[in-house]
Amino acid sequence: MANILVVDDDQGMRDLLEIMLAREGHTVATAPGGREALHIFEKKPFDLVITDLRMPRVDGIGLLRSIKELSPETVVVLVTAYASGETALAAMKEGAYDYLEKNFNIDRLTSLVNDALEKKGSLQEEARFMKTLEQSPGFSGMVGKSKGMLKLYSMVRKVADTGANVLILGESGTGKELVARSIHENSPRKTCSFVVINCGGIPETLLESELFGYMKGSFSGAYGDKPGLFEHAQGGTIFLDEIGELSPFLQVKLLRVVQEKTFRRIGGADDITVDARIISATNQDLEAKVAAKEFREDLYYRLNVIPLRIPPLRERREDIPLLVNYFIEKYAGELGRSVQKISDYALELLLTYPFPGNVRELENIIERSVAMERSAIILPESLLLSGTGLPDSAGDAPESIPAEGVDLNQLLERYEARLIEEALKKADGSKSKAARLLKITPDSLRYRIENKGGRT
């Protein structure tokens, strides 16, 4: 049974809904308008709010927005005498669960309330899940707390329990295999195999035998029967990376597996039944390939039951510090280095870098930096960014002033920060020794550090 708030400026409608809902065993409160409803809601939480759409001062949409800000897990149903497709769409965009026409009957009301309360349970569970993410740097091996990554974690968690095929979309280096593995490890299939194959890295003739296996004597060199990767994935998950690279011949073979759950080994006469979830991934525009007749439309829709998009690193720069710390800890341990953190200036360089290679490129940069660095802090000179080389001693200053001009203060600030960091490195962190190297007083050095002239 639930706590329900009914909001309507029509006394008769409030009384009718209160009686009908109370008969179902629910606890019901009523309010004659949006403002009064908010006063009640702020004092006591409700599982479900049923509100009229058209009310003076604060209407149903305005009340809906306020309720969702106060309690995202509360389910809201709008009541209207002017139902239309546009009304429904506007309500859904604002977070309404559904809408109810004023000529409803008891069965429609009961069904809608029951469905809405089921939705309430899933919203509460989602809210608890998002709360746990606030206490950790990521989810299931993935690192990041940006809006795009939180949405991805939520989707991974939801699709993991289903058996539906998933198509992961993302640029190279975004971590598509990691997402696929997370889906598998959070699914009922986690006790069985997770099998990975790169469809773009194996010649077509070899790829067929890798996927489906072969029988002894089926071709030169087939000295015995060999099961394919689909057989190894029995009961588990098979991850087909770079699915857009499949040849038309293998697309037909894969379509049969997807549709009929059966295949034959090369040279075999018997059908083999397989129970394996298929997760595929691509960095290509498969819809464009379908339109160009380069990828089968029927296979595309079979694989793309649930699409998941991984945001590129440039769209989630707020995750870069978390990823940097994660990779520093990882490679300091693996390489036996004493590196503990990255300097502010070095991090600033990473935050402004476009990362065409995404997370994979960032990982390589940090691994290389940890290997090269001899102090406990990664300094700018340890960073090697593709296409830019090492930061130069003048803080990336131009050789001449371009037409658009330069930011002199910024260049001087960066150059000063670079020199202070280098002096501190040579002085093993001693500010007094570093000040002597820079030929300034210790007080002057402290002032420059505190005022962000030198970010260490």
Does the pLDDT at position 116 exceed 90? no
Measured CA angle at 133 (ends 132, 136), to 5 deg: 100
The C-alpha torsion from 303 through 305 and 311 to 312, rounded to 10°, is 10
Which stretches within 24-105 are classed as H helix?
A: 34-43, 60-70, 85-93
* Three-state DSSP state, 406: coil
User: Out of 216-225, 298-307, 419-428, which region has the weakest mean confidence (pLDDT)?
Assistant: 419-428
Rounded to whole angstroms, how far apart are CA atoms 408 and 189? 59
216 has a pLDDT exceeding 50: yes
Query: Backbone phi, then psi, for 341, in 5-degree steps?
Result: -160, 180
Tens of pLDDT, residue by residue over 339-354, are: 999 998 889 889 988 8
**In this predicted structure, what is the pLDDT of residue 310?**
95
Residue 36 has pLDDT above 50, yes or no: yes
Rounded Cα distance between 50 and 89, Å, is 17
Burial (CB < 10 A; 0-12, 13-18, 19+), residue 210, is middle
Percent of the chain beyond pLDDT 70?
87
Q: How far apart are CA 448 and CA 76, in angstroms?
A: 55
389/404 Cα distance (integer angstroms)? 24
In a 3-state reduction of DSSP, which class is residue 198? strand
Report the DSSP beta bridge partners of residue 273: 262
Specify the pTM.
Answer: 0.64
Instruction: Please give the pLDDT value at position 201.
Output: 80
Residues 6+ apart with CB under 8 A from 403: none
pLDDT of amino acid 110: 86
Q: What is the mean pLDDT of residues 30-59?
A: 89
Average pLDDT over residues 263-277: 92
Residue-by-residue DSSP string for 271-318: -EE---EEEEEESS-HHHHHHTTSS-HHHHHHH-SEEEEPPPGGG-GG
Q: What is the pLDDT of residue 279?
A: 97
Q: What percent of the chain has pLDDT over 90?
A: 43
* Token pair 């001062």: residue: 57
- Residue 71 banded pLDDT, cuts 50, 70, 90: confident
- Joined together, the tokens standing for residue 183 give 């889906």
What average pLDDT does this structure show over 349-362? 91
Give all domains of the chain, ordered by start, each with its CATH number: 3-130 (3.40.50.2300), 145-309 (3.40.50.300), 315-391 (1.10.8.60), 399-456 (1.10.10.60)
Q: Which of 239, 233, 235, 230 is nearest to 168 (CA)?
A: 239
> For the segment 234-260, what is each residue's pLDDT rounded down to a tens digit?
999 999 999 999 999 999 999 999 999
Phi then psi for residue 218, to 5 deg, are: -70, -20
Q: Is the pLDDT of residue 82 over 80?
A: no
List strands edge to edge, sheet with 75-80.
27-31, 3-7, 48-52, 75-80, 98-101
Task: List pLDDT tens digits, range 229-238.
Answer: 999 999 999 9
Alpha-carbon span 56 to 69, nearest angstrom: 21
Residue 114 structure tokens? 């029951």
Average pLDDT, whole number, for the chain?
84
